[in-house]
A and B are shown apart, each in its own frame.
Chain A
Amino acid sequence: MYNYSELYQAILKGNLNLAKTEVTKAIENGCAADEIINSCMVEAMGEIGAQFEAGKAFVPNLLLSARAMKGALEILQPQMQKENTKLLGTVVIGTVRGDLHDIGKNLVASMLEGSGFKVLNLGSDVPADKFIETAKENNAEIICLSALLTTTMGYMQEIVNAVKEAGIKAKVMIGGAPVTQQFADKIGADGYSDNANAAVTLAKKLVSAC
């Protein structure tokens, strides 16, 4: 197998230019997109996520790794389409209506993308119907809701209700500073995670239950 150690380190350390160079080299060496993603990029994102959970890496480290991973994925995109690379599932993600905070949500989106999910990021201040419409159109397995504010987290309940009424298969997972497992249980969400790395684990679990 191709030696991916340079690409792995580039993503782990968040070196965007090196990640782009190394993924280009891998493609030129005839590596398949799914091998590059699964044998290297997913592993590197998993490692930075594990370091974050252990208190050995911090939000700026995650941002750097996510940026390097995204840069590499953009270069891989044409090859993924050509090879029809299979992804883990489709996630629709956004910060809920009334809330404009999206750093945490974007981190979760990047971690999911780097872990092999197709991610449709709707941005911030997103109403319920937009989540549902996008999930329907893309046959999404997961809807991820984020809120930073106690003033906006209540709107998650409306979205959970609307998803159930719409009768779509997507599972709803929620997160954000004031959100708790207790709150997730109360509003009937399918899952909750308190950080970007745990969100990936949860998404994998929810997809397998779909």
Chain B
Amino acid sequence: MNSRERVKTVLSHRNADTIAVDFGSTAVSGMHCKVIEGLRKYYGLEQHPVFVHEPYQMLGIVEDDLADALGIDCTGAFGATNMFGGTTPAWKEVRMPWGQVVMQSVNLPLVEKGDRYYTYPEGDTSLEPSAMLPKSGFFFDAIERGPLEIDDDKLNIEDNLEEFSLLSDAGLAYWIKTVKEAASKGRAVVASFGGSGLGDIALVPGMQLREPKGIRRIPEWYMSTIIRTDFIKEIFRRQIDIAIQNLEKINSAVGDLVDVIMICGTDFGTQNSQFCSEEQFRDLYMPYYRKVNDWVHSNTGWKTFKHSCGAVRPLINAFIESGFDILNPVQVAATGMEPAALKKDFGDKISFWGGGVDTQGVFANGTPQQVSDQVRKQCDIFGENGGFVFNSVHNVQANVPIENVISMFETLKSIRNV
């Protein structure tokens, strides 16, 4: 069984020859560039600066040689521009504050001011900066721009739709080339075509936009989910219509080469609660998720991927009814997210893509042996009858000791025996 077959089998809730593994196919299942550098060194691979495809979280590309060394079954197809509006496939060397030299987008200036570095939409330093990185930090955070006070009489829906547009011929050509390249690797292709995330709070500030307008500040957006529901629904309705038109074009060209589509990264959970009730989820979000997921299931063979951090157990039935096939990152340390109960109650209806090791706990703070023990335990629980792709809980962060990361991969190798 090759990697692609393995992933497709487990996502059909059947046992494959062994556990399927992902690291690096999405912006929520990847590894910090510092970790990738450490792994390349440990496995004796060619030493060169890591390519950072997602600079907001400083996620590096898992190149083929490393993917082979680690036994990774998935590969990502990412967009032509990054979260700051910079061109991703055009690179330059940059030294980051922690001393690592990486390959970054050519449109990513790092401007030092005081104890922070700032970066700018499309790399244009004549604009207000849209993200900042503390000198002691390892990734960026959004700078909120846009109006401080919202005048409801003057709210214009177009302001919150600026980032959603129909694919140009050049945009379509990019995706055809990128998906074909990804598919040539023989791994399952996980595509992040974009445009279908509903109110993803990482995207709301519009770090790529030159002058964002509308509701762009994070607390204001959250409050709007209660006090401006008609406005939010109209944003969702129109963006999903655009997303489906784009997916139609991509599917006609290279649909057969794609296995999984990243639909949405909106977090609905906190450490011990949710951002809304199930009732509100069904009213505000579900109709639009249903629309795009139904389109995917009616027209393609793709599986639909939903990311949501936190204690989302009370919403999982609604996720399933929304048409999601996959839940990530399965934050096992959050309230109500005990692996055995999740597997028992939902394991035949949704696949778990994550939950393999607790990034907030053992992975960052435990010993290599503790990591190994947890990896074995989670594989036993989640791996039965398919429905599981191994991944840590969210991206592997910069501070995870490299010996713990190695322990995880070496344990997986011994379990998988492939």
Contacts and interface: CB of A to CB of B under 8 A. Distances in A.
Interface of A: 14, 52, 55, 58-61, 63-64, 67, 97-101, 103, 106, 125, 149-152, 177-178, 194-195
Contact of A98 (B134, B222, B273): B134
A151 B137 CA distance: 8
B364 interface: yes
Contacts of A149: 397
B352 to A, nearest CB: 20
Interface in B200-227: 218-219, 222-223, 225-227
Contacts of B223: 14, 60, 63-64, 67
Contacts of A194: 271-272
A63 B224 CA distance: 10
Contacts of A55: 273-274, 314
B270 A177 contact: yes
A151 B219 contact: no
B360 A177 contact: yes
9 contacts: A14-B226, A60-B222, A60-B225, A63-B223, A67-B223, A98-B137, A103-B219, A149-B397, A177-B360
Given A97-B134, A150-B365, A59 B399 contact: no
A25 B399 CA distance: 54
A106 B273 CA distance: 17
B397 A151 contact: yes
Contact of B397 (A59, A63, A98, A150): A150
A99 B222 CA distance: 21
Closest 9 CB pairs of A and B: A100-B141, A98-B136, A60-B222, A151-B399, A150-B364, A178-B360, A177-B271, A98-B137, A98-B134
A60 B137 contact: no
Interface string B242-273: 00000000000000000000000000001111
Given A58-B274, A150-B359, A63 B222 contact: yes
A61 B223 CA distance: 7
Given A98-B134, A150-B399, A58 B359 contact: no
Nearest to B219: A63
Contacts of B219: 63, 67, 103, 106
A110 to B, nearest CB: 10
Nearest to A194: B272
Contacts of B405: none
B281 to A, nearest CB: 11
A137 B23 CA distance: 49
Contact of A60 (B136, B141, B276): B276
Contacts of A52: 273
Interface string B358-400: 0110001100000000000000000000000000000001110
